[in-house]
Every structure is written in C-alpha cells, then in structure tokens.
Amino acid sequence: MSYDLQEIILERTANLEPALQKQAKKLNQKIINTNFYHDAKNLEKIGSVISPELNEFLLSCALEYDKTHAYKFDTFDNDVETLRGIWSAMSFSKSPEILDYLSRQVTRSVSHRSFAHRYIFEILRLQEKAGRTHPLLAKLYDYYDGLQAKLPIYELLRNIGVSPADPYDFDMKEFIKWNIEDYFSFEGDSFQMDACRREYPRHNYHMFMVAVDRHSLELLKQGIRDTYAPVDVIDFWPIPICYCLMRRSGTVTGVVEEGAMHLWLWWNDICIQECIVPITGSDVAEAMDKLEVRLQDFGIDEIQGIRMYGLESITNEERTDMEGIISMYGETEYIPLLFLGRGRNRCKQGQLDWDMAIGMAARGLKWIGLGW
C-alpha cells in the first residue's frame, strides 16, 4: 500500500503558520492513523477539529496527490487509509471546490470499478445517520439502486422465499432473522445452505453464501469416505478457531495485533461483533461489556468464555491484565482431542495457527460424518 498522501500532508503541515499547524497536527492524529476506525464515533471526533481552513489545506494535499495517482485504481497503489481520513474530514464541508473534488473521485471510481465511491458512500451514510445530509449522497443512492436491480442474488433470494434486508443498513442480526435454515427446498430439490461474513478490505463487508444439492453432497461425502480422496478446505480467518471449541456460540476470541487487542464475538460460527481496543484491563473490560450486550440480542445472556492469542508478545503488566479478563469470563474449552503419531509432537495447542488447523480438521471430519 502507498503512503504518498500521508507524506504530502506531513511535509506540508511543517510549513503551515503556527496556529493552523497546531490544529493540523491534531487532525493528522486521526486522518493518517491506520488504527483509527472510520466509524460514526470517530467521524464525530474528526468533525470536532476540522475547519474550513484545514479542509482547504487537505484539498491542496489531495490535488497534489492526484497528480501522480489520479489514474491508479487499485488499493495497493493508493494510500487508502489516508484518503479515507481526508474524505471523512471533507464530508463536513459544503465548499464548491471540495464538492467538485469528491464528485470527481466518485465518477472516476465508478467508471473504473475502483474503491473511492464505496468508501465515500460509507462516510456520507454515517453523516446522514447523524442528521447531516450531503449533496453527493443522492447521486450515490441512484448508482447503488441501479446496481441492486441487476443483481442475480436478489432474484435468487426471492425465489427461495427470503426477503432481502435493507442494502444500505445491513446487519448480521437481521440476516439471521431472514430464517435461512441449514436446509431448504426449491422446485422439488433439497439444498444445504451455509454462509459466512468476511471483512475485506477493512470496513468493507462481504457475505458469502453457498447452496449445494443435498443428494450430490451425500454422494461426495461417501466418495471421500470410500476413497480417502484429498480435500482442500477453504475458510476465513479466524473463524476456524470456533470449530475446535466445545461452545461455538457466545464465545470471544482475542488476538494481539500491532499493539492492540482485536476481539471477535461468535454466535453459531458467525462473527456478530468485533472491535480493536488498547491492551489495558479497563479498555478490554469495557469492550467485553459491550460485546455481552450485543450477545444478548441473540438470546445468550452471558459470554461463555474467551481465548486470547499473542499474549507472549506483550508486556508483563499487560499480560497480567489480560489474564484477569480470562479469569473473569473463563477460558473456552476444546472439543475432545487425541493426537496420534507425529501430531503428538508437532501440534502446539493454544497457538493461533495450530488451533485454526485443528478447527478446520474437526469441521472437515464432521462434514463427512466422522467427526465430533
């Protein structure tokens, strides 16, 4: 990923007059911080420090960046996180120059199937939810309404009796409420359904759904059992952790990432909430309280256990705090496991990659009817 825009902003910040430079440095902490999530709460933080003068400054940086990146449409060739930061700041402005800049970004991105229009739409939707309607939002709604009418998935959902959720206000809880069962019938045939959610790139959620004819599935399972055929299993990080646990609903997984704790809340092998917080006892405890409230929406009153990974990479004080969290909620238990042959010496239970490997193996065995 490029960091060219970040470098332009930092270089030009150093040349601002002292009063504006002080404001710019405060804003820069938010718009060029890759750990700063662009959600409603943090958008408000940007709004509390942005000013017409700072937006004019950001526009000059963006136009300079465009001189070399205007026709680079891949995320890997762009400073995506900093772009999202300045677009968040610009979303508070009604300046004709900034509106023109954002409109050009959207038009160019749509025509080349790039990323800018998706992120700008996400930001402007947050502004709308906060009661601030942006002039560019109507144009983006028209674009997405036109796309929705052409998508085969909506026709499929109607054919199997599923009512699509609001595409502009999608929620995993609502998706589950659609009553998608493990099995459904369509035109006399029976199908098995599975689904999962994945966030890629960051903050851009994708729903993956698959429906397989049950008769064909049983023939495939039988073939694997009879011939010991090799099978490649595809899954999404870190969901496989769930498959090696006794409890697969109401549990939390924590992974140390770049000096922060990334928490996932699981319900029926689906992540229903996630967050990244500082590695302190108070911050993680507050996050766990919020996750527990979210879990109650799905009929489970309390978190059923937590398992954390990467604690060996943090300080002793931080590790003590995290051990206190684990003690409070209890550590999740593994399914019954028996390691044979080389597995007894090679498998390192409790390490992230190994636990996911165990989970994928357990799921595969269960899938062909031989597992836990």
Name the DSSP letter for residue 322. Answer: H
Please check whether residue 49 is in contact with residue 41, taking contact to mean a CB–CB distance below 8 angstroms: no
Residue 53: C-alpha distances to residues 68, 83, 121, 124, 351 (Å): 24, 18, 24, 21, 50
Does pLDDT of 172 surpass 60? no
Q: Which amino acid does the sequence have at 250?
A: G
Quickly state the pLDDT bin for 200 (edges 50, 70, 90).
Answer: very low
Q: What is the pLDDT of residue 164?
A: 64
> What's the pLDDT at 201?
43
Contact 254, 246 (CB under 8 A): no
Q: What is the mean pLDDT of the chain?
A: 80
- What is the C-alpha to C-alpha distance for residues 58 and 45, in angstroms, rounded to an integer? 17
* 59 vs 348: CA distance, rounded Å: 52
Task: Give 327-359 pLDDT, tens digit per residue.
Answer: 999 988 888 777 666 666 777 777 888 888 878
Least confident of 228-242, 267-281, 319-333: 228-242
Per-residue pLDDT band for 1 (boundaries 50, 70, 90) equals very low
Contacting residues for 6 by C-beta, under 8 A, at least 6 apart: 32, 79, 82
The helix or strand, by DSSP H or E, that contains position 22, with its residue range, turns out to be: helix 18-31
Q: What's the rounded mean pLDDT across residues 86-99? A: 95
Distance CA 251, CA 241 (A): 11
Instruction: Map out the domains of the chain with their CATH numbers.
Output: 4-146 (no CATH), 167-227 (no CATH), 239-367 (3.30.420.40)
Confidence (pLDDT) at 101: 96
* 241 pLDDT tier (thresholds 50, 70, 90): confident
Distance from C-alpha of 357 to C-alpha of 176, rounded to nearest angstrom: 27
Quick one: DSSP state of residue 253?
E
Residues in the chain: 372
